[in-house]
Amino acid sequence: MYNKVILVGNLTRDIELKYSQGGMGIATSSIATSRKFTSNGEKKEEVCFIDITFFARSAEIANQYLRKGSKILVEGRLNFDQWVDQNGQKRSKHSVVVETMQMLDSKGGNQGGADEYPAQQGQPAQQDYQQPSYQPQKPQSYQKPSGQQMPNSSSIPVIDIDEDEIPF
């Protein structure tokens, strides 16, 4: 069997970090994802809210760097939670246990890049975390290949694509 979920969206609330009796970090939040589509000629948007859980060092990193509204990509597994509420009713919901996350907001010196942090379950927490530094690359000069002509602007076809048709 295969259980893999990949979501891109924005956090709907700040990270809530707690620690287990064994000292492992457990962080929870929620992510909002959306899907735009056209139905009967009318543009619509469908929003889905999913609870997410981080463990170990990724829980601490999420708590340190993410806030409500932060754009994030998470990879993980779907988890089915069941419980009995205060009224004795059986309740259930699906959530995602995060295995890998990428922060998609550009902050400070990290110009437009995404930082990836694997969820290291069972790994001891590192005390001093240093965010990766951005090292700009020297631009390389462009050399036109010999014997090839660049197309002129009149020979390039125009493609009319609606933003809602792009699958990402």
With respect to residue 64, please indicate whether it lies within any of the assigned structural domains: yes
The pLDDT value given to residue 131: 43
How many domains is the chain built from?
A: 1
Residue 119 resides in a domain: yes
Residue 93 is assigned to a structural domain of this protein: yes
Host domain of residue 79: 5-37+44-126
- Read off the pLDDT band of 108 (50, 70, 90): very low
The reply to whether 29 falls in a domain is: yes
In a domain, 161, yes or no: no
Q: Is the whole-model pTM more than 0.75? A: no
| DSSP assignment of 61-109 | HHHHH--TT-EEEEEEEEEEEEEE-TTS-EEEEEEEEEEEEEE-S-BTT
Residue 151 covered by a domain: no
CATH of the domain at 81: 2.40.50.140
